[in-house]
A and B are shown apart, each in its own frame.
Chain A
Amino acid sequence: EADIYQTPRYLVIGTGKKITLECSQTMGHDKMYWYQQDPGMELHLIHYSYGVNSTEKGDLSSESTVSRIRTEHFPLTLESARPSHTSQYLCASSETRQGVSPLHFGNGTRLTVT
């Protein structure tokens, strides 16, 4: 079983607040990812990391930022939350076997900005 944890599970916050969504994995995976998913819609990759101190933007433009200071930790930050950021954010990780390593997903953080 994959061990990847996201907190909080649900977050309701006012416009303009700074928020950080936490993601941690205990599998020692090098690769980590953040996806955004609106209700009933497709997942879109917004950030990924191939290792410590490595971060890249994904296919969908996002106002969020990420950091990767430790292998097991990949937090996502919104400096000033807006209602348009309301969505579900899913974190995932995978090991280093190219093309075949499955992604292990957390259960997501459902963010509502009022």
Chain B
Amino acid sequence: DAKTTQPNSMESNEEEPVHLPCNHSTISGTDYIHWYRQLPSQGPEYVIHGLTSNVNNRMASLAIAEDRKSSTLILHRATLRDAAVYYCILRDVNDYKLSFGAGTTVTVRA
């Protein structure tokens, strides 16, 4: 799997937006960009995925650079419940498995 690079940690204030960057300069044309998050003492949870176009769902938005070498996960209004480790993962269209990196630990201040 192609590798991704994320900051180790980020802090945010409650009700403010959070922008989580992810670099994936070696992404291939068949790699989807997936985001998962892991709340304390729980298994990872799917957040969103995309290929080329920006994507929105009820949890977050995914902004993908035009050259696909980077992406940003956007949490529009952070809540205390959004405090988690966020993983940016590349997954080939022909693959079912996921390989997790270290992720970004997000802290939300009340």
- Interface residues of A, Cβ cutoff 8 Å to B: 31, 33, 35, 42-45, 48, 50, 58-59, 90, 92, 94, 98-108
Cβ of A94: which chain B residues have Cβ within 8 Å of it? 96
Contact A33 B97 (CB under 8 A): yes
Given contacts A42-B100, A42-B101, A59-B99, contact A99 B94 (CB under 8 A): yes
Give the Cβ gap from B46 to chain A, nearest Cβ, in Å.
Answer: 4
The docked-state distance in angstroms from the alpha carbon of A98 to that of B31 is: 11
Contact B49 A98 (CB under 8 A): no
Give the Cβ gap from A48 to chain B, nearest Cβ, in Å.
Answer: 6
**Which one, B10-18, B19-27, B37-45, B62-70, is touching chain A?**
B37-45
Contact B100 A102 (CB under 8 A): no
Given contacts A99-B30, A99-B32, contact A50 B46 (CB under 8 A): no
Contact A98 B100 (CB under 8 A): no
User: Besides the contacts A99-B91, A105-B42, what 19 more A-B pairs have beta carbons closer than 8 Å?
Assistant: A42-B101, A42-B103, A43-B44, A44-B100, A45-B97, A45-B98, A90-B44, A98-B96, A99-B92, A99-B93, A99-B94, A99-B96, A100-B93, A102-B34, A102-B49, A103-B46, A105-B43, A107-B42, A107-B43
Contact A98 B44 (CB under 8 A): no
The docked-state distance in angstroms from the alpha carbon of A43 to that of B89 is: 12
Secondary structure at chain B's binding surface: helix, strand, loop or mixed? loop
Contact B45 A105 (CB under 8 A): yes
Cβ of A103: which chain B residues have Cβ within 8 Å of it? 36, 44, 46, 98
The docked-state distance in angstroms from the alpha carbon of A33 to that of B94 is: 17
Does B80 lie at the interface of the complex (its beta carbon under 8 Å from any beta carbon of A)?
no
Cβ of B93: which chain A residues have Cβ within 8 Å of it? 98-100
Contact B43 A106 (CB under 8 A): yes
- 21 chain-A/chain-B pairs, Cβ below 8 angstroms: A31-B96, A33-B97, A45-B98, A48-B97, A59-B99, A92-B43, A98-B93, A99-B93, A99-B94, A100-B49, A102-B34, A102-B46, A103-B36, A103-B44, A103-B98, A105-B42, A105-B43, A105-B44, A107-B42, A107-B43, A108-B43
